[in-house]
Amino acid sequence: MDDKRILPEDPLGLIKRCVRERKILWTLHVSMRFRVRPVSRRMIIEAIESYEIIEEYPEDKYLPSYLVYGCHGDTVFHVLFAVDVPDDNIRVVTAYLPDPGKWSEDFKRRKQL
């Protein structure tokens, strides 16, 4: 097993700590999306107390990742964080406003289509 594939004991705790300590790598993908989506780095950082993991992807392509619900003011958004336990950082893969047609009323569960 690749040593980068280590799962965190407390994924939400690791994500929040890395955000607080600014141990964040912003992927090119999310940086490009910030130009066209109404979610910003500042919103992601300031919403830390609202974070909830809503989906887990332990076998994601490069690193284990977690889809996190966040709320900044009246704006609900999702962030996909990849966690790098050995290097003690997180990567923001993407961030978006959830589509009400695809998510439950509270935006925490996917609708069965």
Predicted model pTM: 0.92
89-96/24-26 β-pairing: parallel
Question: How far is 33 from 49, CA to CA, in rounded Å?
Answer: 23
Reported confidence tier of residue 4, pLDDT bands at 50, 70, 90: low
Exposure of 72 by Cβ count < 10 A (0-12 exposed, 13-18 middle, 19+ buried)? middle
Per residue in 70-82, pLDDT (tens digit) is: 999 999 999 999 9
Using the predicted structure, report yes or no on whether residue 2 has a pLDDT greater than 80.
no
Per residue in 6-58, pLDDT (tens digit) is: 999 999 999 999 999 999 999 888 888 887 888 999 999 999 999 999 999 99
Please tell me the predicted confidence (pLDDT) of residue 35: 79
Q: How many helices (H) and strands (E) does the chain have?
A: 3, 5
Please tell me the predicted confidence (pLDDT) of residue 5: 79
Fold (CATH) for 3-96: YaeB-like fold (3.30.2310)
24-26/52-57 β-pairing: unpaired
Please tell me the predicted confidence (pLDDT) of residue 1: 46
Residue pair 78/68 in contact (Cβ under 8 Å)? The answer is yes
Task: Say how many Å lie between the first and final Cα of the chain, rounded.
Answer: 35
